[in-house]
Structure 1
């Protein structure tokens, strides 16, 4: 039976601490088999197209060496890295792991790498906006392309180190009931460490940075009436807000589930993990949509691109090429 082959320790950060071996996961696995593959394929297609359009627009119409665009390109790459793990997960949820142990480790590491780097680049973009608005005079001398490249390299290095854990701990095993599984073999203290590492380092600390930076930005904008900064601040703020609206429920449920009694076989938390984790995944699909609807200059770039392809009959002349930032 197909559902008996599903491993509840699914190969992503979203389920890394899920352990239902002592319970009967048949209903939860059937839900996953019916719903998740189609959802993953849909998110994959929309995310690749959306993020691809963002990269194309930056390449054709923007300066690639500005601080904002360097961070933005890295954020989109992070989204794409995460997105490319979805087809593997879709196949896995449909039956069993068929890709071997090497890809088991690599796919999980890429999943974590995209997840962690996206959080760090969102945090970095927020802090950069804070410097540009609150400390504009001092930061203008330091916010150069070299600074952005160095900071981006640091973010990728931190993300890579943090994503080594699944590379070491995920293995492929043959189970009589579940078939071939790609699962997290870490136990005890390693699981607790991983749970709180994700919750504190990649959720609580970024949240604290976001709250502080945007509180200072709002005070600065209101006190000085910096009209020209409103659109950039609003764009990054909404991206960050949607990120936490998508990821907060899952992190909270993950923490609750990680501390529940192992003998508790209540399925409610297991369903909640799957639902909230896929709400979180939608972020990587929604992200480019906000660039389209909130970034006025992005809208103008898209119109110019359509016009150049003969797909837009009405000329749109409101584009201003003098702006430095993507927002």
Structure 2
């Protein structure tokens, strides 16, 4: 759920019978959002491309962890390719037609939702590997990973069908062509709560439960080698909620407060800023997740040494073969 991209208009405030000037928030969007989206796009393409390159050169792609990582990269790339369209839209108007209006917004939500679900799935898989390692070693196969990935993509696709039915292009006298959700307000409320429950509360519950059980298992069994994994999971989960929670909380507050249009400028700024913090995270979460892994760091060093042999005297490369995470 987002506010309009180019909402340079005046809203009527029934409390005092005056028109509310919203030009400030529009100027903020035009000045800040397009370059921000282009920067995220470049960083995401380079970062996720580096992850794929390292995995292709140094990793077995059919392991459970790497299958999930490849799918997470795919989620991020799908999400990322919508950003140039949004950048153009925020700087001017929607110039890409009705079909791309529906397609781009659907791709945005598919990438968004699948990224969240794959992070949740990877946390749950790590929980199985640590807490139920004996059973998990027998059950965690490439077929298991592919089947779960198909389920995640299916759920994400179904959850992202709204734009196909409710987004359209309409012309506004002040703003030009708008690509927005023009559905009934009740449906927008339903979409908001769907996102809040299934893509915020549900991952939160899974993360908390899995992480709590992993901590208890590591402490009880004193698995020293697992401490780094626990720290990685903790930081990943912390970053997820640091970037994703503010947007959801502000949306819920905004939705449930009494409407006073002229008093909503701070809410508009808060929604746009927190929304774009979330976008940044979901574009680079794979890079963040993998770069923290000791094995991935070693792979990057190996790649640098292979390409620039003179760095061999300055970079230490180990022969470790553990998982990326």
Q: Does the CA contact (< 8 Å) of 2:76 and 2:284 recur in 1?
A: no
Match of residue 262, structure 2, among 262, 265, 268 = 265
Q: Indicate the residue corresponding to 1:303 in structure 2.
A: 301
In the alignment, does 2:278 pair up with 1:280?
yes
Shift in Å at residue 293 of structure 1? Answer: 4.6
Q: Does the CA contact (< 8 Å) of 2:215 and 2:230 recur in 1?
A: no
Q: Indicate the residue corresponding to 2:35 in structure 1.
A: 38
Q: Indicate the residue corresponding to 1:4 in structure 2.
A: none
Q: Does the CA contact (< 8 Å) of 1:306 and 1:312 recur in 2?
A: no
What is the alpha-carbon distance in structure 2 between the residues aligned to residue 249 and residue 151 of structure 1? 29
In the alignment, does 2:98 pair up with 1:108?
no
Runs of 4+ in 1 over 6 A off after TM superposition: none
What is the alpha-carbon distance in structure 2 between the residues aligned to residue 312 and residue 285 of structure 1? 33
Q: Which moved more, 1:231-240 or 1:127-136?
A: 231-240
Q: Which moved more, 1:52-61 or 1:232-241?
A: 232-241
In the alignment, does 2:114 pair up with 1:99?
no
In the alignment, does 2:74 pair up with 1:90?
no
What is the alpha-carbon distance in structure 1 between the residues aligned to residue 212 and residue 281 of structure 2? 24
Q: Indicate the residue corresponding to 2:157 in structure 1.
A: 160
- 5+ unaligned residues in a row in structure 2: which ranges? 13-19
Q: Indicate the residue corresponding to 1:3 in structure 2.
A: none
Where in structure 2 are the equivalents of 1:1-327 lying within 5 Å?
Answer: 8-10=3-5, 21-22=11-12, 23-266=20-263, 267-291=265-289, 293-310=291-308, 313-314=311-312, 316-323=315-322, 325-327=323-325
Q: Indicate the residue corresponding to 2:16 in structure 1.
A: none
Specify the SS of the correspondent of 1:281. Answer: helix
Residues 115-168 of structure 1 show CA distances to partners (whole Å, capped at 9, x for unaligned) of 100110011001001100001011111000000000000000000000001121
Shift in Å at residue 287 of structure 1? Answer: 2.5
| Paired positions, count | 314
Q: 1:20 to 1:272 in 2, by over 3 A?
A: farther
Q: Does the CA contact (< 8 Å) of 2:115 and 2:282 recur in 1?
A: no
Q: 1:127 to 1:182 in 2, by over 3 A?
A: same
Q: Indicate the residue corresponding to 2:15 in structure 1.
A: none
Q: 1:205 to 1:181 in 2, by over 3 A?
A: same
Shift in Å at residue 312 of structure 1? Answer: 5.4
Specify the SS of the correspondent of 2:127. Answer: helix
Specify the SS of the correspondent of 1:313. Answer: helix
Q: Does the CA contact (< 8 Å) of 2:112 and 2:282 recur in 1?
A: no
What is the alpha-carbon distance in structure 1 between the residues aligned to residue 321 and residue 35 of structure 2? 43
Specify the SS of the correspondent of 1:114. Answer: helix
Shift in Å at residue 286 of structure 1? Answer: 4.3
Please provide the CA RMSD for this pair: 2.0
What is the alpha-carbon distance in structure 2 between the residues aligned to residue 209 and residue 44 of structure 1? 29
Residues 153-197 of structure 1 show CA distances to partners (whole Å, capped at 9, x for unaligned) of 000000000000112110000111110110101212211110100
Compute the TM-score of the two structures, normalised by the length of structure 2.
0.91
